[in-house]
Amino acid sequence: MTDRRFERIAFVASAAEDAEAARVSLVSRYGDAPLADAQAIVALGGDGMMLQTLHDVMGRGLPIYGMNRGSVGFLMNEYAEDDLLERLEAAERTVIHPLTMRARDREGRIHVAKAINEVQLWRQSFQAAKLKIEVDGTPRLAELICDGILVATPTGSTAYNLSAHGPLLPLASPLLAMTPISPFRPRRWRGALLPDRVAVAIEVLEPEKRPVAAVADNTEFRDVKRVEISLDRKTSLTMLHDPGHGLDERILSEQFGW
């Protein structure tokens, strides 16, 4: 019998009907290994399902191959049931690192969460947020009045960062994108590209009058006073993509209007 690098696959699916139907069909053909024994995970759904799966298996070292059964599939491969083992064998690997968000709230409590896409700060009320930005301990913007701000990884640069008119970052670039959301003052500030080795700190000014929430992907903490953000190089996550359809190619295509 020919040895395969991927013989034991775990299948996970979003709650969407199409995704669950695909999981049932694939399990009938390829079996379904428990996570403890799996060599790879196949995630069925959209980009949200890929993000959830990456969070669920963080620290396990399992590569994830996504197939699109959702509405958005920038991170996913095309869905097909045939030759799955061969596709897994031929897949290209993309290794990414998450951000660590450390947020202190108005009561002095510390909250820590990981973000694969981005860390966001958002105003909680009708009043705009007022923020101070530091990079490696040096104040860079004494006062930013805005609806919010985000710090995105190269992976996350294709998500909400892009909708907020932030830059697209090639996967291999050692950069983070800092993008304001509806900036009011300074009105012309459009954000910054930061080396991914830096530590970012965002201080909330007037937190009682202008309350702010901090969000790491889908984990939210409210009434924060200070948020510190840095790249966690000790944690590695692996996504698998069909040859010629990796994230770098998709980012290039997006920039040229495809």
Lowest mean pLDDT among 3-7, 157-161, 237-241: 3-7
Tell whether the model's pLDDT for residue 170 goes beyond 50. yes
Return the pLDDT at 1: 39
Residue range(s) defining the domain that contains residue 75: 9-96+236-255
Please report, for the domain that includes residue 109, its CATH number. Answer: 2.60.200.30
| 3-class DSSP assignment, residue 163 | helix
Q: What is the rounded CA–CA span in Å between residue 57 and residue 35?
A: 9
Determine whether 47 is an active site residue: yes
Q: Which of 47, 136, 196, 232 is catalytic?
A: 47
CATH of the domain at 60: 3.40.50.10330
C-alpha 245/C-alpha 240 separation (Å) is: 10
> Other CB atoms closer than 10 Å to residue 20's CB: what's the count?
15
Query: Would you place residue 2 in the very low, low, confident or very high pLDDT band (cuts 50, 70, 90)?
Result: very low
103 with 226, same domain?
yes
pLDDT of 228 over the 80 cut? yes
Instruction: Please give the pLDDT value at position 219.
Output: 96
| Predicted pLDDT at 74 | 81
Count of the separate structural domains present in the chain: 2
Same domain, residue pair 50 and 153: no
For residues 48 and 71, what is the distance between their CA atoms, to the nearest angstrom?
Answer: 10
DSSP string, 111-139: EEEEESSEEEEEE-SSSPEEEEEEETTEE
User: What's the pLDDT at 246?
Assistant: 64
Tell whether 113 is covered by a domain: yes
Binding residues for NAD(+): 47-48, 117-118, 147, 158-163
Kindly tell me if the per-residue pLDDT of 258 is higher than 70.
no
pLDDT in tens, 20-29: 999 999 999 9
Binding positions: 47-48, 117-118, 147, 158-163
pLDDT value at position 158?
Answer: 87
